[in-house]
Amino acid sequence: MRLEELAKALDLTELTPPGAGSEDGDITRGYASDLLSDVLAHAPAGAVLVTLQVHLNVIAVASHAGLRAVIFSCGRTPDDDSIAKAEEEGLRLFRSAADTFDVVGQLHDLGIRGGTAR
Amino acid sequence: MRPGDPSEASRLTHFRADLHIHTALSPCGSEEMTPPAIVAVALARGLDLIAICDHNSAGNVKAVQQAAAGRLGVLAGMEISTAEEVHLVGLFPDVAAAEQVSVIIREALFEADDHYYSFFGPQPLLDSDGTVIGTETRTLALATSLQLGDAVRLIKSAGGLAVAAHVDRHSFSVYSQLGFFPMNAAFDAIEISRHLPRQAPILDEYLALGLPITSSSDSHYLEDIGSGCTDLLCVEPTFDELSLAFAGVGGRSVCRA
């Protein structure tokens, strides 16, 4: 499923400028964790990350792990520096008012699956 | 004589410092961690300087300073748990500065209930004799609502030094919580735990950060005091001299003892 479709289905707010991500194509995998050392070690490349962690390092870790997008749950919003950095890295950021459990549930309903890549 | 004066080099002395010790106020700290007991063990182990760093509170710092009565240096500190669940050691110029931060940290916690105390343990405020004079009622064992960057700024606004606690640990450290070391966070130093082997390959990565490295015991029990130590090369075992040693002024330095 394309990111735009996911964002619409989950009623997400896009934090980076629309279409900032250079890559296109379907998202098929997801990962949920607030421990960035765990994200670094286990999130599959190309995945969408769901987290409530809003530290700038989320962007560095997501970029390093080759993730496509981050959904911040519980209405959390990273600061402007993080959003600017994500845009530079071609990473798209979204916000959901729902908590992590519900965001992941909705993604799963849409066919997005987990699974560790590395 | 000003710091950095060349004639000062001859006055540099090695001091033994354990800059991360809990008292019984920390819910995970042993009840035996009273001010007189901590001071007695620190003196017996040949320490010149200690820092009292309870979780999210500076409530027992003054009592330990009074118990020490000038026999060893006791720095006012606090181990702050940030919203990311990163542990951060703040070291302050004096008790007043630490207590000023402590007030703000209190507001960033919850009020404890019976279930909290039964799970985490008591939080006694002690006097210099080790007598219980009160109870801290906020949830010291839990994370505050302060983001890491804000916590570092808070420490600095009180004139303190911010140290990334036990960076080698797999929980509550900057690496475990944030994946990469947050270079934008303006830490003054990083702390390695007493558990890290002396020749651990990861030490090269820590050295590459270009920050001073302290080694501390993170004692929650009397027997652990001094089991992790920093060799502090400076003029006297004080906060100001530690600041200068972190900055490497006039030949001062810190390293693992």
Spell out the residues 6+ positions from residue B223 whose beta carbon is closer than 8 angstroms to its own: none
pLDDT of residue B183: 79
pLDDT of residue B2: 62
Domain spanning A3-109: which CATH class is it, in words?
A: alpha beta
Bridge-based pairing of strands A13-14 and A92-95 is antiparallel
Q: What share of chain B has pLDDT > 70, as a percent?
A: 97
Element (H, E) at B92: strand B87-92
Q: Is A55 helix (H, G, I), strand (E, B) or coil?
A: coil
Question: What pTM was estimated for this model as a whole?
Answer: 0.90
Q: Which residue has the higher pLDDT, B90 or A19?
A: B90
Subunit contact B182:A56, Cβ cutoff 8 A:
yes
On the question of pLDDT at A21 being above 80, the answer is no
Chain B interface, best mutation among A37, A49, A59, A70, by max B CB count within 10 A: A37
Looking at residue B24, the DSSP 8-state letter turns out to be T
Q: Where are the domains of chain A?
A: 3-109
Q: Is residue B3 part of a domain?
A: no
Residues of A with CB under 8 A from a CB of B: 35-37, 39-40, 53-57, 60-61, 64
Subunit contact B84:A55, Cβ cutoff 8 A:
yes
For tokens 């951060």, name the residue: B88
pLDDT of residue A12: 97
A79 CA: distance to closest CA in chain B (Å): 11
Chain B interface, best mutation among A35, A57, A58, A79, by max B CB count within 10 A: A57
Q: Is A13 helix (H, G, I), strand (E, B) or coil?
A: strand
Token digits for A79?
A: 């600061």
Q: Is residue B76 part of a domain?
A: yes
B147 touches chain A (CB under 8 A): yes
Subunit contact B176:A35, Cβ cutoff 8 A:
yes
Nearest by CB to B182, which of A39, A40, A55? A55
**Least-confidence region, from A20-34, B100-114, B180-194:** A20-34
B142-198 residue pLDDT tens: 999 999 999 999 999 999 999 999 999 999 999 999 999 997 889 999 999 999 999
Cβ contacts (< 8 Å) between B178 and chain A: which residues? 36-37, 55, 57, 61
pLDDT of residue B8: 72
A82 CA: distance to closest CA in chain B (Å): 12
Nearest by CB to A37, which of B148, B176, B182? B176
Nearest by CB to A36, which of B147, B149, B177? B177
Subunit contact B179:A53, Cβ cutoff 8 A:
no
The full 3-state SS of B118-129, as one line of letters, equals HHHCCCEEECCC
Subunit contact B184:A56, Cβ cutoff 8 A:
yes
Contact pairs from chain A to chain B, CB under 8 Å: 37
Q: Is residue B4 part of a domain?
A: no
Subunit contact B180:A53, Cβ cutoff 8 A:
no
Cβ contacts (< 8 Å) between B202 and chain A: which residues? none
Q: Is residue B251 part of a domain?
A: yes
Q: Is residue B176 part of a domain?
A: no
Average pLDDT on B209-236 reads 97
Angle subtended by helix axes B95-107 and B61-68, to nearest 10:
160
Exposure on the CB side of residue B94, measured as CA atoms within 13 A? 1
Q: Is residue B77 part of a domain?
A: yes
On the question of pLDDT at B4 being above 70, the answer is no
For residues B125 and B135, the answer to whether their CB atoms sit within 8 Å is: yes
For residues B241 and B235, the answer to whether their CB atoms sit within 8 Å is: yes
Beta bridge partners, A72, equal: A51, A95
Residue B114 belongs to domain spanning: 14-169+187-256
B143 CA: distance to closest CA in chain A (Å): 13
Q: Is residue B2 part of a domain?
A: no
Number of domains in chain B: 1
ipTM passes above 0.85? no
Angstrom distance (rounded) from CA B208 to CA B202: 10
For residues B57 and B25, the answer to whether their CB atoms sit within 8 Å is: yes
A98 CA: distance to closest CA in chain B (Å): 19
For residues B177 and A36, the answer to whether their CB atoms sit within 8 Å is: yes
Average pLDDT on B27-50 reads 97
Beta bridge partners, B54, equal: B57
* Cα angle A71-B148-B53, degrees, rounded to a multiple of 5: 145
Angstrom distance (rounded) from CA B97 to CA B257: 28
Angstrom distance (rounded) from CA B79 to CA B87: 6
Average pLDDT on B34-41 reads 98
Q: Is residue B180 part of a domain?
A: no
